[in-house]
Amino acid sequence: MIATLTEINVQTRPSVVSLRAPTPVDTATDAISDHELMLAVRDGELDALGELFERYHGPLYGFLAKLTGHHAAAEDIAQTVFQRMLKYRHTYRDDGSFTAWMYHLARRCAADHFRKTNSAPAPTDPSDLQNHADEAPDASDRAARRDDHDLLHLALNRLDRDAREVLLLSRFQELSFAEIANILECSAGAAKVRAHRALKELRDIYLALQREGPARN
Amino acid sequence: MNCTRAQENFPNLLDPRTPADAHADDRAHLASCPDCQREYASLARTLSALDRLPAAKPSPRLRAGFYAMLEQEKNSAASVQAAVLRHRRAARVSLWRWILAPLAAGALALGGFFAGTRYAPVPAPAIDPATKRELAELRAKVDGVGQLVGYTFLQQRSANERLQGVLTTLDQKNPDQKILANLVGALALDPSVNVRLSALDALYPHAGEQLVRTGVLASLPREQNPLVQVAMIDFIVAARDRNATPELERMSHNESIDRSVRDAAKRAIAQL
């Protein structure tokens, strides 16, 4: 039987707000836009960056955790992103978009991370492990692959990094394709095509992994 | 509409931000084409699974690291200097409004007065003593307004206003003892590093006054910030205050004090 359109409706994606960790945000600053806060940081009011951190460290960390597949690395990169926001605050433009700028910096920091880890294995401090109770399971743990989330994580990790990046930006970060195009330095149409290709590729890997699962049992 | 065209528009149909009534042709094709429906359904299922992925949460290490980094940046010499410069600029604007404008008005009046006496057909009589006295009183009043503005700002609660108050006193040549005492008070007690540094800056021209030297020396033991401690030691050296030698000796041997401060104390002892 052919599925009707109503049966194959995509579940509405969770909003970024619901994905964020509950954080104490000063209600007095709720009305101030991200752009205004970043302009204040640029003009020397460094405390305004604290508010931006509270608003965005969760989604940024989520993006980096899925991009790198490694929680400790995601934290280090997120920290570096906020460090670079401070260091390069004078480069933030009057007509800029804060989220686009933040993910632009995040891509650069992630690229640096991948360059380093490709040339040298990342050392792990055993004392840090207790801070990461939800660390992703070892990729070699074949039994865990039966779990859907693990399969999807595995499929994501098998995607080309550029494809993974555009898919995560378009699906989780509530960015328009115009903003994604700005981050990826391409046209909005090209960003949309790349996101769709990435989705098809992910689907193929995901389905292949699902087929592999029962075969191993 | 064929399958290729319809599938090219799947990104739009799969995007939850696309209005339900948009791309009617594609939706009509999808409703009638089993192949496209299978393709669409598998992509939609993948997206749905992707959306169900649990959101990873960072450990407390990220927040702690961020705020430590922010605090370090705020206390860095460059940031403090930038803050002082920013407030000094703001203070200059305020000075123009409160002091320079009345002074300019006074100068304009005096200029008009002298021009009148010079170009008037009848030689003007010399300024009589009473007028001279009035002019002197006027000048004293203008100077008094400047001092009052600075003093009033020092009583404000906000750090910005206190800093502005300190900076207002910078350009005063002869601030009274009350203002100097307020500056010393700000140096000793103000919770803001910027205000304390600016107060010290404002006290430099008056380093010869006993009140100022005693105040700075008394504030030194209670100061905790290395940046301000080093600035105070520099002040003591500039003022050639030999009474500070015992305190500097104590600081230079105190291991709990920042190394840069101890080194500054040792240099100061050698210079004194």
Predicted confidence (pLDDT) per residue in B45-64, tens digit: 888 888 888 878 888 899 99
d(CA A181, CA A167): 12
Q: Do A61 and B56 touch (CB under 8 A)?
A: yes
Are A58 and A124 contained in the same domain? yes
d(CA B66, CA B75): 14
Domain of A100, CATH number, reads: 1.10.1740.10
Residue numbers in A near B65 (CB within 8 A): 75, 79
CB-nearest to B40 from A8, A21, A131 is A8
Is the pLDDT score of B41 beyond 60?
A: yes
- Residue B71, min C-alpha distance to chain A (Å): 9
Give Cα A16 to chain centroid, integer Å.
11
Contact of B51 with A171, CB cutoff 8 Å = yes
Are A124 and A37 contained in the same domain? yes
Are A151 and A116 contained in the same domain? no
The range of the structural domain enclosing residue A167 comes to: 144-217
Residue A68 counted as domain residue = yes
Other CB atoms within a 10 A radius of the CB of residue A203 amount to: 20
Residue numbers in B near A148 (CB within 8 A): 49, 52
Q: Do B50 and A82 touch (CB under 8 A)?
A: no
d(CA B139, CA B127): 16
Q: Do A14 and B51 touch (CB under 8 A)?
A: yes
Residue A21 counted as domain residue = no
Are A91 and A43 contained in the same domain? yes
**Per-position DSSP letters for B100-111, written without gaps between them:** IHHHHHHHHHHH
Backbone angles phi, psi at A96, to 5 degrees: -80, 165
The reported pLDDT for the residue numbered A23 is 41
Residue A180 counted as domain residue = yes
Residue A115 counted as domain residue = yes
Is the pLDDT score of A18 beyond 60?
A: no
Other CB atoms within a 10 A radius of the CB of residue A18 amount to: 7
Q: Which residues contact A164 (CB under 8 A, 6 or more apart)?
A: A66, A67, A156, A157, A198
Are A41 and A128 contained in the same domain? yes
Are A92 and A46 contained in the same domain? yes
CB-nearest to B57 from A21, A167, A195 is A21
Mean pLDDT, chain B, rounded, equals 79
Contact of B33 with B62, CB cutoff 8 Å = no
The reported pLDDT for the residue numbered B143 is 58
In chain A, how many domains are there? 2
Residue A177 counted as domain residue = yes
Choose one of A78, A108, A132: the last residue of a domain. Answer: A132
Q: Residue A22: pLDDT band by 50, 70, 90 thresholds?
A: very low
Residue A138 counted as domain residue = no
CB-nearest to A2 from B37, B62, B65 is B37
DSSP A185: T
Are A151 and A72 contained in the same domain? no
Q: Residue A73: pLDDT band by 50, 70, 90 thresholds?
A: very high
Mutate to test the interface with B, among A6, A7, A8 (most CBs of B within 10 A): A8
Residue numbers in B near A7 (CB within 8 A): 41
| Between A217 and A185, residue with greater pLDDT | A185
Mutate to test the interface with A, among B39, B62, B75, B89 (most CBs of A within 10 A): B62
Residue numbers in A near B54 (CB within 8 A): 134, 149
Choose one of A79, A104, A132: the last residue of a domain. Answer: A132
DSSP A159: S
Half-sphere exposure of B143 (CA within 13 A, CB side): 12
Residue A14 counted as domain residue = no
Predicted confidence (pLDDT) per residue in B129-179, tens digit: 777 777 777 666 655 555 555 545 555 556 667 777 776 766 666 777 778
Are A41 and A103 contained in the same domain? yes
Are A67 and A120 contained in the same domain? yes
Residue numbers in B near A153 (CB within 8 A): 53
Predicted confidence (pLDDT) per residue in A99-140, tens digit: 989 999 999 999 999 888 775 444 444 444 444 434 444 544
Are A82 and A151 contained in the same domain? no
d(CA A26, CA A30): 7
The reported pLDDT for the residue numbered A125 is 46
Mean pLDDT of A199-217: 80
Check residue B221 and give left, alpha or beta (phi > 0: left; psi -120 to 50: alpha): alpha
Choose one of A84, A106, A132: the last residue of a domain. Answer: A132
Are A156 and A73 contained in the same domain? no
State what percent of residues in chain B have pLDDT above 70: 76
Is the pLDDT score of A189 beyond 90?
A: no
Residue A200 counted as domain residue = yes
Domain of A188, CATH number, reads: 1.10.10.10
Is the pLDDT score of A214 beyond 60?
A: no
Residue among B236, B259, B238 at smallest CA distance from B246? B236
Residue numbers in B near A3 (CB within 8 A): 37, 41
| Between B84 and A147, residue with greater pLDDT | A147
Is the pLDDT score of B117 beyond 80?
A: no
